[in-house]
Every structure is written in C-alpha cells, then in structure tokens.
Structure 1
C-alpha cells in the first residue's frame, strides 16, 4: 500500500458544479478506480484559493498508470475540464504533495 497526495486547481465560480458532479460520480468511474487499485480517495478544498488537495491510497498491485488510456477516465476528464486547470489532454493538472509528517 502507498499513499499519493496532490493538489489540483478549480476555476472561479464552479465549486457548486464540481461538488455536484462528484456527488453523482458515475458508477463505471468508481468501479474503474477500485479495479485500478485506488481506494480511500478523498479530495479536500481550500476555499480561499480554490485549491483541491487529493489523497488516495494505492494497493501494492495498483494499475493507476493505465488510467489515462481508459475511455471512462478520458470521458470524465473531458466532463470536468471546464471546471479545472487541465493539461492538453484534459487530465487535471496535478502538483505532487510530498509527505512531511505522518502520525500513525
């Protein structure tokens, strides 16, 4: 198991829509994330900057690297692109967050 944390960035004025889309996450996307070895995935919001902070746990045999090629993932990124800062292929821009402290 490993933990991956990163930052993403919302555009102004889209928070309610971003939240609504995640409240209605597609079952096929949820199943894909689970099948890829991703679990315990949370996204936190800094309301002042509209920065999103994501933390997810990865199973040892995860296949997260294959997600960018999956049609469901591409469709989700296209769906979310108007709300976020994205790369040319519409995947959200990610800024990795290194672990500084952990208390178990």
Structure 2
C-alpha cells in the first residue's frame, strides 16, 4: 500500500467556507473516491490555510487517473479551484506527493 501526503494552500479569506464545504462532501464524490482506490483519505487544515492531504492507495497515479475520469470529480474540482492559492487549473492536478522519509508501524 502506498502512503501519499501532499500540500496545498487555501486562501485565508475562504477558510471558513472551505471547512463548511468539507463537512458534507457529496455522497457521490465519497463513493467515487472509494471506488477509484483512495483509502484512509484525510485532509488537515491549519489556520493560515496550509492544507495537508493524506491517503493510502495501491497506485497513486492510477487512482488519480481513475478519479479524473469521473464526472463528479470534474464538478467538485471546478467548485474547489477558487479556494486555492497558486493553483493553475484543477486542484487535484496540483497535488505533488511529498517524499516519505520515515514510517513507524
């Protein structure tokens, strides 16, 4: 299982709305993430807008590709794009995995 962590930056003036949007993620988005191999997926948000994402998957590139092919992901990404700083296009295309340097089971 591959563990993936990534960072994005939410615009400070949109933090409250971003948090609110994630209190009730669309059921079809949740189902698509599960179906395409995104497991144990979590988002953590710092007060300055730093967003840390974590997920586990068999193959991150395959999971990203499968999500990119869903209609619900296109709609979700279009709605989420204005929340982020320094993102050209869709936020899911700006996720660059960090190098894992230590893991304790």
User: Residues 1-104 of structure 1: matches in 2 within 5 Å?
Assistant: 1-48=1-48, 50-59=49-58, 63-64=62-63, 65-85=65-85, 86-88=87-89, 90-92=90-92, 93-104=94-105
TM, length-normalised to structure 1: 0.85
Deviant stretches of 4+, over 4 Å: none
May I ask how many residue pairs the two structures share in their alignment? 101
Task: Identify the structure with the greater helix proportion.
Answer: 2
Report the TM-score, using the length of structure 2 for normalisation.
0.85
CA-based RMSD: 1.8
Question: Could you list the runs of 5+ residues in structure 1 that have no partner in the other structure?
Answer: none
Report the Cα distance in structure 1 between the residues aligned to 2:96 and 2:35, rounded to whole angstroms.
24
Q: What do the CA deviations read for 1:67-97 (whole angstroms, capped 9, x no partner)? A: 1222110100011111113332x23422321
